[in-house]
A and B are shown apart, each in its own frame.
Chain A
C-alpha cells in the first residue's frame, strides 16, 4: 500500500479517537487528502477501480471535514457518537475497496453495513423505519454475496452472477430492490446522507465492476438485466420522486435515478465492451457523488424539509442558493455539468451499440427530460417564489467551507472531464469548446435578466398580489406529469396522496414472512428437553445421511 493511503488510514483512525476536539477537522481533512492522493495514484497508474473509489471517498471526506464538526455543534444529540462512527464508516468503506475477494471482503462489507445502520439508527425513533429497511437490505445484500463467494467453483457462473447481482445490486439500488434507499437515506443527518448516497452506494457499482476480474466474465443476461433494470429504475425513481414531499427524500429518489443510469452504463459495457460506457460509468459516479454530496450537505442548513413549507430561500441565503443551483444544474444533466458529459458518453455508446441496446436512447431521453422537470420542481419550490414559512438557514463558516470544498471539484470536473478520465484513454467530450459557449450562455442570461420587468400584471384578473400560499405545492407542481405514469396512483382530494403499488407488494411479502416466522416460532416451546430432542434428531439424521 502506498504511503498516502497508509497515512490516510492512520489519520482517519486518529480522528475517530479524537472525538470533537480542535484537531478533528484537520485529521479528517488530511485523511481525505491522503485518500485522494493515494487513490489518484492508483487510478492514474493502472486505472484500478479501487483507486477510483478511494479518490471519490477522499473528495467527499474533504468536503465533510470542515462541515461535520460545525454541523454537530448544532446537533447536540448523539454528537459524540456521530463524530466517532463517521470516521470508522469511512475506514470500512476504504477497506472494502482495497480488500481482495474473500473473507476479509465479506467481513468489511458487513462491518460497513452495520456502521451505516448505526449512523441511520442514531437519529432515534423517527428513523426507526428507515434504519430497519437499511438493515434488511443489508441482510439481503449479504445473502447474495455469500451465495456468490461460497458458491464460486461449485455453482455455475449463472448462479454466482445472480448472487453478485443481488448482493451488489441491492446496495446500488437496483430496481426493484431500491425501495430501502429512499426510506433510509433521508432520515439520517445530512452529512451521513451525503456519505451514504455519495459513497456507499458506489461500492455496489465497484463490486459489480470488479466482479468480472474476480469471478470471470459475466454471462450475457447479466448485462441485459443491468441495462434494462437500470433504465427502468431511473424512470420509476424520477416519477416517484416527483411526488415526494420531503426535500431529502426527493434527493434520495434522484440517487436511485443516477445509480440506475450508472448500472445501465455498466450493463452496456458488459454487453458490448465499448469504452464509452466505461467512461460514462466512472464519470457519472464521481459527478453524482459530488453534486449529491453538495445538495445533501446544503440541505443540512434547513430546519424544515417539507417542500410545501419551503420557498424563497434564495433571497434569505444566496450563498446556499447559488451552490444549490450549481448542484441542481449538474444533477438535471445540463451542459456542461459532469452528469451531462456522462450522459453524453452514454448516448454515444448506445447509438453505436447494436440490437436491443439502441432502445436505451429513448429511455435515456425520457430520463433526461424527467430529471430536468424533477430538479426544476425541487429548486423552484424550495428556493424561488415567496417564503411560505419562517425557515432561517443556518450556515456557519465551516459548513460553507465544506460546501465549497465539494463545489470546486464539481466545477473542475465538469469543465475538464478528460483530464479525469485520462486512465481510460477515452475522449468523451471536446472540452475546450465549452468555455466560449459557457460565457455566451451566461452573457445571454445576464442580458435577458437586465431587461426591466413590470411590477404590475396586466392580466392579473383582479388579484393584484399573490399570497405565498397561492404558490403551487409539492404535489400540485408535478400532478400533470404524475397522471401520465400509471404505475403510481395519485389521489386528489382534501389531502392529496400518492399510492405506490410496488411498496404494497413489499408490504405483503413482509407480512407473509412474519407469518412464516411465527409458524417456526412454535418450535420454541420453552421446554429444554424438546430442544435437546431436536439436537438428538439432527444428530441421528446427519448420521443417517452417511448411509445414503
Chain B
C-alpha cells in the first residue's frame, strides 16, 4: 500500500510539473514518465490478475513510448520553437493548479465507490483532469492543447483504475489505441494548420464565431 501511495503522489507531482515547466521537451518527457508511473500503479493493483498486467504493458508501450516518440518527431518536423507560450506566469499557473487540486481533494471523497481498490487515487485523478484542462486553457501552441488533452485522458484512466477492478482488457486496449489515434489525427491537423497559416498559435485563430 505504501508503495502505491507513493506512486499515486508521484503521478500528481508529474501533473504539477507539466503545468509549470516552460519547455515542451520537458513536458513530453514528464508525460512519458507519468505513463510509466501509471503502468506501475496498474502492476501494483494486479495481484496476479493477467489483464491488469497486460493493460499496464499496453499503457507503457502505447502511451509511455509510442506517443511521446511521435510528439518529439512532430515537434522536430514542425520547426517551431520548443518553448511553451502561455497567458499565465509559472507562479500563477502553479497557484491555480494548487487551487484546482485543493478542489479535487475536497470533493474527491464523494466520488469514491464503496469497493474502490484505490480510494486515494480518485482525488488525484480529478486533479489530473482539471490540470489538463487548465493547461489547455492557458497555452497558445496547438501542441500544448494536445498535451493537455492527453493529461486529461490519463486522469480518466486513473479514475477507472482506482474505482473499479479494472475495465475489461479490450476496453483498456481500445482506449489506449483511441488516445493514440486521436494524437495521430491531431498531429496531422497541426501540420495542416502550419501549412495553411504558417504558425501553430491557437490564440491567433479567431474565425470560429457566431
Contact = CB atoms under 8 A, between A and B. Distances in A.
Bind each other: yes
B107 A543 contact: yes
Interface residues of B, number: 26
A543 B126 CA distance: 10
B182 interface: no
Contacts of A531: 208
Interface in A510-543: 521, 524-529, 531-533, 535-536, 539-540, 543
A547 interface: yes
Interface in A421-439: none
Contact of A528 (B126, B130, B205, B210): B205
B206 A529 contact: no
A521 B208 CA distance: 12
B134 interface: yes
B133 A535 contact: yes
A533 B145 CA distance: 12
Interface of B is mostly: helix
A528 B137 CA distance: 8
Given A533-B137, A540-B100, A546-B107, A524 B210 contact: yes
B206 A525 contact: yes
B110 interface: yes
Given A529-B87, A540-B103, A543-B107, A524 B130 contact: no
Contacts of B136: 532
Contacts of B133: 532, 535-536, 539
A63 B144 CA distance: 65
B202 interface: yes
A547 B106 contact: yes
B203 interface: yes
B137 A536 contact: yes
B92 to A, nearest CB: 14
A525 B205 contact: no
A526 B126 CA distance: 28
Interface in B88-123: 100, 103-104, 106-107, 110-111
Nearest to B132: A536
Contacts of A535: 133
A544 interface: yes
Contacts of B134: 536
Contacts of A546: 107, 110-111
A525 B209 contact: yes
Nearest to B109: A546
A75 B100 CA distance: 65
B203 A527 contact: yes
B207 interface: yes
Nearest to B104: A543
B141 to A, nearest CB: 12
A535 to B, nearest CB: 7
B207 to A, nearest CB: 6
* Range for the number of chain A residues in contact with chain B: 10 to 19
Contacts of B203: 527-529
Interface in B133-160: 133-134, 136-138, 140, 145
A526 B138 CA distance: 16
Contacts of A547: 106-107
Interface in B164-210: 202-203, 205-210
A546 to B, nearest CB: 5
B208 A526 contact: yes
A529 B103 CA distance: 22
Residue from A527, A528, A544, A547 whose CB has the most chain B CB atoms within 10 Å: A528
Contacts of A521: 210
Contacts of B209: 524-526
B19 to A, nearest CB: 13
A536 B202 contact: no
30 contacts: A521-B210, A524-B209, A524-B210, A525-B206, A525-B209, A526-B206, A526-B207, A526-B208, A526-B209, A528-B145, A528-B208, A529-B87, A529-B138, A532-B133, A532-B145, A536-B130, A536-B133, A539-B129, A539-B130, A539-B133, A540-B103, A540-B130, A543-B103, A543-B107, A543-B126, A544-B103, A544-B107, A546-B107, A547-B106, A547-B107
Given A536-B130, A544-B103, A546-B110, 13 more contacts: A524-B208, A526-B208, A526-B209, A527-B206, A528-B202, A528-B205, A529-B137, A529-B202, A529-B203, A536-B134, A539-B133, A540-B103, A543-B126
Interface of A: 521, 524-529, 531-533, 535-536, 539-540, 543-544, 546-547
